[in-house]
Structure 1
Amino acid sequence: MENTEIKIKYAYATDVGCVRELNEDSLFCSNNLWLVADGMGGHACGEIASQIAAETIAREFMGSGDLVRAIELAHSNILAASNDKVNQQGMGTTVVALTCKQNEYFVAWVGDSRAYLWDHCRSRLTQLTEDHSLIVRLVKSGLISVEEAQKHPQRHMITQCLGSVEIEQIKIDVNQDVWQANQQILLCSDGLSDELSDQEIARILKTHTDKLDKINALIEAAKSAGGRDNISVVLIDSPIVKKPSLFEKIKMLLKIQ
């Protein structure tokens, strides 16, 4: 689906993938909040956890404007829901969320759902988030190489998520910067990033111009690579619109003629 009515334009899609029977990802997209939550816990529990996260964060953020506080509250609500029903114990979810204020963007996350910055003019893809995972810890400590990490048997093990009871308090990481023209931010669950390298993602973003075409191509590529998990993608345009130069206007006129 695509939104074209507001100042900041975006598109999004989610797919169950090729292996899973249930889509446990949840999305939320609005005028000033976009998020991807990737649930876990087996059966319908992951779906419940990601829905609680999306609904709580949206409601709290719309009321307070505090994204970090909204994520903290989602963590508390998932823990409470886990204690209410035996079959929901142990459920949890990752989350990555984006909000904007004028020409600034603010990304917050827990787990291994990711945000990327795509700069079309430079054909450059930059990961804005750092996975909360065992592999990242091993690489940063020098115990394994980046190449070894890509094939490590525990590469999917995350160190924290919303709803986690193993840690006293979750750590919400944030990244903020200023938008530039011709940029997009990509939010995704690990169903995309586990199947496609950064180089493959960048190639697809460069190949297509329409946001929905980009998203559909990313999802299809992830499915072709195995589609072993649910795949969710949100793509948000920079609110900074660069006016065409006189030379660019002449080129466009000549093309029309």
Structure 2
Amino acid sequence: MRFADPLSVKARSTRVSILFAASQAQGERDTQEDYFANYNDQCFALADGVGGMPHGEVAAKLACETAVWAYKHVRLRPFYWDDKKLFLKRIFRSTNIALWQKQREIGFEDGFATTLISLIIGENSFWVGGVGDSRIYHLNETGTLSSLLPDDTDPSGKLTNALGIRRYGLVPHVVAKQFGRQDVLMLVTDGITRYIDETLLTKQLSMCGETTGSLSATVEEVLRAAGEHGSTDNMTAIVIKRVFSS
């Protein structure tokens, strides 16, 4: 019997891919006040302009674009890159100040505000921060779905915190988790979460497949289900999956 020379055996490399799909629906609103952004599959941002205040679409877009800008530039500083929770707090602080300064410009003096979810994806982990009532869900490999951040709402469902309301003192909720094999993340605005429950979300995410096309189909199905359950609000969903292949 001959044994293979261990020095001549090449280990099969495992490739890790981050796949994502996103989509929106305007519902019956006059404008789309949700916004999302992504940088290099490493940083994702989702914002929902606060209803009842003007310029919601401006607030949401500015929040996402500033959050991604802050990620791209602040990550170059080892002090922040080595502490992702602190990094996220810096992203939220920079974004909040950008919104506050925008309100000093002509045409925006009447103010605006927005929710924000900011997500950083690492090799085996992810870090997420949030303010407001937009949500991030995590479906792990055992099929357990978890909502990772608390809603900033009172018992009646009204927002108690958002970006752009005050210049100082904004503190985001921040969580760090392992990002395992076949784990799925979903970022959603309240136009979805107020109309479909976690049982349906679990079912959809469990069947999302391992291609961009199948993830896109899942996103569209979630939007459709929210509409069928009565949502007339702006809706946005982003599905992100960690896929391994050899």
- Three-state SS of the structure 1 residue aligned to 2:150 is coil
Query: Is the Cα contact below 8 Å between 2:163 and 2:170 reproduced in 1?
Result: yes
Shift of the alpha carbon at 1:229? 1.4
Residue 62 of structure 2: aligned partner: 52
| Structure 2 unmatched ranges of 5 or more | 1-15, 76-86
Report whether the alignment pairs 1:133 with 2:137. no
Query: Is the Cα contact below 8 Å between 2:33 and 2:57 reproduced in 1?
Result: yes
Give % identity.
Answer: 23
Shift of the alpha carbon at 1:207? 4.2
- Three-state SS of the structure 2 residue aligned to 1:92 is coil
What are the equivalent positions in structure 2 for 1:177-192 lying under 5 Å apart?
Answer: 177-192=177-192
Report whether the alignment pairs 1:215 with 2:219. yes
The 1:192–1:105 alpha-carbon spacing in structure 2 relative to 1, beyond 3 Å, is: same
Residue 37 of structure 1: aligned partner: 47
| Structure 1 unmatched ranges of 5 or more | 1-5, 136-153, 244-257
The RMSD of aligned alpha carbons is 2.0
Query: Is the Cα contact below 8 Å between 1:41 and 1:90 reproduced in 2?
Result: no
What are the equivalent positions in structure 2 for 1:67-216 lying under 5 Å apart?
Answer: 67-119=88-140, 121-135=141-155, 154-155=156-157, 157-165=158-166, 168-209=168-209, 210-216=214-220
More helix by share: 1
Bigger mean CA deviation after superposition, 191-200 or 63-72? 63-72
Shift of the alpha carbon at 1:206? 2.9
Query: Is the Cα contact below 8 Å between 1:132 and 1:159 reproduced in 2?
Result: yes
Query: Is the Cα contact below 8 Å between 1:24 and 1:44 reproduced in 2?
Result: no
Residue 30 of structure 2: aligned partner: 21
CA distance in 2 between counterparts of 1:47 and 1:88 reads 15
- Three-state SS of the structure 1 residue aligned to 2:30 is coil
Bigger mean CA deviation after superposition, 79-88 or 195-204? 79-88
CA distance in 1 between counterparts of 2:190 and 2:144 reads 20
- Three-state SS of the structure 2 residue aligned to 1:63 is helix
Shift of the alpha carbon at 1:168? 4.7
CA distance in 2 between counterparts of 1:57 and 1:208 reads 28
CA distance in 2 between counterparts of 1:131 and 1:160 reads 9
CA distance in 2 between counterparts of 1:159 and 1:229 reads 20
The 1:7–1:242 alpha-carbon spacing in structure 2 relative to 1, beyond 3 Å, is: closer
The 1:197–1:35 alpha-carbon spacing in structure 2 relative to 1, beyond 3 Å, is: same
Match of 1:62 among 72, 95, 98: 72
Amino acid in structure 2 at the alignment position of 1:53: A
